[in-house]
Each structure stands twice: as structure tokens, then as C-alpha cells.
Structure 1
Amino acid sequence: MIAACLALLQCGWQDGSLINGLLDIVDSTCYDPNDEITNAAIRLLVALHHMLIQHDRTRLGILSDNLILGELARRPESSRTFGECFVFLLNREGEPYPANVYNIAIKFMCVELLWSILQSPPLSNYFYDNDRNVLVDILLQNIADLADDTDQVRALCLNTLGALICYTEYRQRPHKLSQVRRLLRELLNTGRLLGYLSDRDEQ
């Protein structure tokens, strides 16, 4: 199924028109009180990104191989709206929710796209400072609060937090650095940090 969808995506929209169309929808509807269209467009972009990287995870974050990252980099000013709405959606996905497969999958794919953005040098400072601070809050909350049966999501959040700290301007303008250090110490002291990193390496 993934292979068929990916083939359709690559053959029919190699010029990025589908991705641009979805980004345009986000740009034109993001401030609408009825944001379901915006959220649907973002979730579709998140799902398409997931399919792209599942096709070849060894080339994760390479702009030339990823239509979504490439279009975000090509239109930085207009795609910033997507960044703002994406952070808002990810923050909402972080609120208490029934731990069903759908919600966990959406959260995982959202963080997966965030990790890809941060790993791509042209996009490393894609998010505004305030949005980056919100992302730190979201990742800290997820690492600390996710249920034990969602370790894969927690491991991805931990690696994404590392990418945010290492590859963005976070170190010049740190946010909640003491909480980051305390959380990492707690994970190291309990032996969970190495386990999460190992889980992520095996993905």
C-alpha cells in the first residue's frame, strides 16, 4: 500500500504541486476559527512525509529526496505559516487523550517530521524562537509523561530534543535548560536513556 501511494506521489506530483497545494491550504485557512481544514492538510502532509521516509530511511532529511522538506526550504517565508500551525497542532496532540493507536500514530508522525526538519541544515532554524520554545515544552512533556507502552514515541522525542538543541539557535537562547538537564540526569540514573537511544538506533 505504501509503495503504491509513494509511486503515485512521485509520478504524479514530482513538481511539488501537491505539496504546494497543501501548504497553500494551510496558509489560507490557518487563522480561520474552523481550523479542521488546516489540521487535515497538515495531517496529510505529515502522513506523506512518513511514507516518503519509510521508503528509504537511510536518506532521511535529504532535501533532494524529500518533496516536503524541499518545498518547505524553497518557500521559507510562506511556509512559516505551516510551521506555526504545525507547532499548534503538535501541542494539541500533546494534550491528554485516549491512548489509542490512531492518536499515538499521529503523534509519532508529527515528531518524525519535526526531527526531519531539524536534521536538514537549510531548515534547522525554520521555527521562530517562540515556537521553538513551545517545541521544547512539548518534547519535555512527552518524554516525561508518555505511557510505558509508547517507548518508541518517547525515544523519537528524545532524539528530536537532541537535534533541536544541537542544530538550532537554542544554545544561544536556551529555554528551560535546567529542566532539560534534570530530565536527562533522571533518565541516565535509571538507565532508561541508553535504552531509548538504542531503541531509536534500531528503527
Structure 2
Amino acid sequence: MAFEVSYNLENEQQFWDELDDICSTRCHAHEDELIDNALRSYLNVTTSYKADYLQTDYSIAKCVFRLIEGPLFEAHKEYVRRQMIYCLLQEDDNPTLHMVAAFLLYDSRNSGDDATFEMMHDESCFPRLVELIKSSSVQEDIRLHQMLLELMYESSRIQRLSGEDLGAVDDAFILHLLAVIEGVSDDSDDPYHYPVIRLVLNEQYLVVSTVQHASGHSGVTNRVIKALSTHGNTYKTFGCNLILLLNRESETSLQLLILKALYLMFLNPATAEYFYTNDLHVLIDVILRNLYDLPSDSPAANALRHTYLRVLHPILANSQISKPPHYKRDAIMRAFHSLMSSGTHFAPVDDTTRRLVKRCTDVPWMQPSSADTNGNGQKELARRTLGMTVQGGGESTTSVLEVAAHTEKPGVQTPSRGKQSMR
């Protein structure tokens, strides 16, 4: 989109007035040239004065919503979106890319549907986003880099990625994201942490190869697990933040993404001991707390509880917690006993919970022994918990597929006993 208009605005009020005039341009249908001229003017004035008046995320958003809520966009939504997408595909100027990416992100959030992301998918924007995020010039502009990361995350979690899209996520891209996480500040509230980690957790390239492999079909390599297998000691911050996010996250879809990543990591011998021992202890505490916190009468809570239990098994079996001194064995056993006693006369404990608890308690160091020094009470607790008669219990291909299958729509909050008691 070439620029043809120059501006000489003397103050911020003139900037916003000019922007309002541009966004209020009224064009008839099929007057594409007039629409193009208005969009050129919009990008020209915003990029020319970006350093003066658009120095914060709030001001960028305010600027974008001037266009989204103006008559120009209201009358020609599809055409404007397509032109902005073409601009994303063709432009290399950072200020222009920032405004275009901000428009596409905020428009998608504001529209209430997937029209923008569907159009981006049709125009094969995913490989372009990968290319831009890896670009050294973009990486030097932190705000633009973060905006593109958020746009890539939001668009790819809505639309199914093609084989070409998945192929764009190579080893170098995953290592770049892990390096970004390692290099940002130690402040866990740094807004840079969240979009990068969520992008690493993108379900389609995190899980798809695992599901295909478990199903007996060849598929793309699981780049995330591969990167951590070979460079895990270099990128420890990702693991720390993963546990931190699981502890804080209340959105079910994101909890499931984190749990799927953890499951694959603890299932893989090369990454089973990736986490620092202290962080592993925190993870155990988080899982126990969430198992207690999930209500017993909610289908959504049951699905999430089952996923926690599926993840807990490879942690108990494969991580360094399987070696003495075993962390919180008694507390884990009490949690299992609580789960097995949580049913009612009208709603007994479901068979899946029984099977998954049995799988966890079959881990050798969870078995009661004559060397137990915790007294007859703990032995009786172990006996009652372990005395279930359940078919199966071993790790299998089915388990991989079960973990991968759990999904939830974005925005749905995780059910909680605490939240229910406050109603």
C-alpha cells in the first residue's frame, strides 16, 4: 500500500481530528480506489506520528478503534480487512506492520466472530507471521514483536493449521521462542511472558504429531518436545513459567494446554527430569490443590480432573520425584482417598476416576510397604485406596489420545468449589 499523502500536524489534537476525518470517509460500494486512498491516509498519518502520539498500547488501541468504529470500516468491513491482510503479507516497514497487526487483532476481538481469522487463514498468513516474528528487525521492536505473537496465537487457536503452516514451525522458530522467554525480565507479570509461552503451547503443533504417532501414522515432528530434549538445560525459564501459569490460570482451555504440554514432557525420557526439583514440588502442590478444588458434580470439572490425573501418573513414574526422598507421598495418597470417597449415594465416583487413580497408585513407590513408618493409620489409608478392583491401569497409546482429545472453548472458566461456595 504505497503512501501518497504527507502531513504536517502541529499538535496531538490535530492528529486525532485528522484521524477522525479519515475514518469517517464515506464511500459507495465498489469505489475501491477511494477506500484504498482512505486506508493509505490512515496508515500514513498513524505511522508518521507514531513516535509522537502512539507510544503506548492504549494509544495504539485507541487509534485502531477509531477505524473499527468509523463509517469507512462499518460500510466496507470485508474489503478493509482484506486490504489490511495484503498489507501484512507485503509490507516490511515496522510502524506499518504494527498498525496493521493491531487492527487485525483488535478487529477479531471486537467482531464477536472469526471472520478476520478465517480470512487470514484463507490468505495463508501463518507462515508470514512466523517469518516476521523470526525477523531481526521485528525482534528489535519489542512492542511490535509482542503484537505479532499475540496475533499469531489468537489466529492459530481458532483456525486449523494446514500442513504448510505446520511446516513453517521449524526447530529454529521454537528455539527462538524459548530464547525470548529465557531473555525477558524475571518479573513474572511482564506482559511479554504470556503471549510467548502461549504461542509455544499452541495445541496444533504441540499435540498433532504426538496424536499421529500414537495412531500409527507418520506426522510432523513435535518441535517443542524435540527442542526441550536437546536444549532443555539452556531453557529452564519456560518450565518455571509453565508451572506459574498453571497455578494462576482460571481459563479451562489454557489449563488444558499446559497440562498437555506437561504430559508429553513427563512421558518423554529425555524431558522427564527437565524441571528443577523445587519447581517439581510446586507442581505437585498445584495439582493436589486443583484436584481438591474441582467440584464433584460438574462434567467440565470431571474432564479437567481426569486430565490432571493422567498428567500426574508420568510425573510420579518418570520424574525425579520417583527417587527418594519421595515428595508428599502421604499427601498424595490422602488426595487419592478423597477422590475415591467424593461420590454420593446418587452420584458414585465415575469409573474413569477410579481407573486413573489406580494407575497412579500402581507406581511402585506409591505402594505401601512393611518399611512404612507412618503408622497403622497411613497403612490403612493406603490399603483402602489401593484396594480397588479396576480393569487396566497401564500407560498406553490410548492415554496419549485421551489427553490430546480434551478441549474447551476459549474464555470458559475452570469450575471451583471455592467459587461455588461464594454464590
TM range (shorter): 0.7 to 0.9
Deviation at 1:161, TM superposition (A): 1.1
Matched, 1:174 2:326: yes
Number of residue pairs matched by the alignment: 188
Matched, 1:126 2:274: yes
What residue is the counterpart of 1:104 in the other structure? 252
Deviation at 1:195, TM superposition (A): 2.2
Distance (whole Å) between structure 2 residues aligned to residue 174 and residue 118 of structure 1: 17
Distance (whole Å) between structure 2 residues aligned to residue 68 and residue 135 of structure 1: 20
Q: Could you tell me whether the CA contact under 8 Å between 2:182 and 2:238 is conserved in 1?
A: yes
Q: Could you tell me whether the CA contact under 8 Å between 1:3 and 1:55 is conserved in 2?
A: no
Matched, 1:7 2:164: yes
Name the stretch that deviates more: 17-26 or 185-194.
185-194
Task: Give the letter for the 1:196 counterpart.
Answer: T
Which of 168, 179, 183 is matched with 2:335 structurally? 183
TM-score by length of 1: 0.81
Q: Return closer, same or farther for 1:158/1:83 CA change in 2, 3 Å cut-off.
A: same
Distance (whole Å) between structure 2 residues aligned to residue 84 and residue 39 of structure 1: 13
Name the Cα RMSD after superposition. 2.5
Deviation at 1:65, TM superposition (A): 2.5
**Aligned residues: percent identity?**
21
Structure 1, residues 32-67: CA drift from partner, whole Å, max 9, x if none? 4651111211111112xx21324652536xxx8310
Distance (whole Å) between structure 2 residues aligned to residue 164 and residue 140 of structure 1: 13
Q: Return closer, same or farther for 1:33/1:168 CA change in 2, 3 Å cut-off.
A: closer
Structure 1 unaligned residues grouped into runs of 5+: 98-102
Structure with larger Rg = 2
Matched, 1:28 2:183: yes
Matched, 1:140 2:254: no
Matched, 1:59 2:210: no
Distance (whole Å) between structure 2 residues aligned to residue 124 and residue 86 of structure 1: 15
Matched, 1:150 2:298: no
Which of 178, 185, 195 is matched with 2:352 structurally? 195
Partner SS, residue 122 of structure 1:
coil
Structure 2 unaligned residues grouped into runs of 5+: 1-158, 215-219, 357-397, 406-423
Distance (whole Å) between structure 1 residues aligned to residue 246 and residue 261 of structure 2: 11
Could you say which structure has the higher helix fraction? 1
Structure 1, residues 100-134: CA drift from partner, whole Å, max 9, x if none? xxx11001111110111000000010111100001
Deviation at 1:9, TM superposition (A): 2.6
Deviation at 1:30, TM superposition (A): 4.3
Task: Give the letter for the 1:152 counterpart.
Answer: A
Q: Return closer, same or farther for 1:152/1:32 CA change in 2, 3 Å cut-off.
A: same
Distance (whole Å) between structure 1 residues aligned to residue 190 and residue 228 of structure 2: 21
Deviation at 1:23, TM superposition (A): 0.5
Which of 215, 222, 230 is matched with 1:74 structurally? 230
Task: Give the letter for the 1:29 counterpart.
Answer: V
Q: Return closer, same or farther for 1:33/1:106 CA change in 2, 3 Å cut-off.
A: closer
Task: Give the letter for the 1:43 counterpart.
Answer: R
What residue is the counterpart of 2:193 in the other structure? 38
Q: Could you tell me whether the CA contact under 8 Å between 1:155 and 1:197 is conserved in 2?
A: no
Task: Give the letter for the 1:23 counterpart.
Answer: L
Q: Return closer, same or farther for 1:120/1:104 CA change in 2, 3 Å cut-off.
A: same
Q: Could you tell me whether the CA contact under 8 Å between 1:125 and 1:169 is conserved in 2?
A: yes
TM-score by length of 2: 0.41
Distance (whole Å) between structure 2 residues aligned to residue 145 and residue 88 of structure 1: 17
